[in-house]
Amino acid sequence: MIDYIFFFIGIVVIVISFLLLKTNNDNQATIESQMIKNRDKELLERVYLIENIIEELKAISEETIQNIDMKTNDIYHMLQTVDKNMEKYTSIVNKKEYSGDIEENARFVVETHLGLMKDGHMLNHDEDTKKILGLVDEGYSPAQIAKKLDKGIGEVQLICNLKKR
- What digits encode the pLDDT tens for the residues 96-141? 554 455 556 555 655 554 444 444 444 456 788 888 888 988 988 8
As a whole number of angstroms, the distance between CA 98 and CA 125 comes to: 27
pTM over 0.75: no
- What digits encode the pLDDT tens for the residues 1-36? 888 888 889 899 999 988 888 888 878 878 888 899
Contact 148, 140 (CB under 8 A): yes
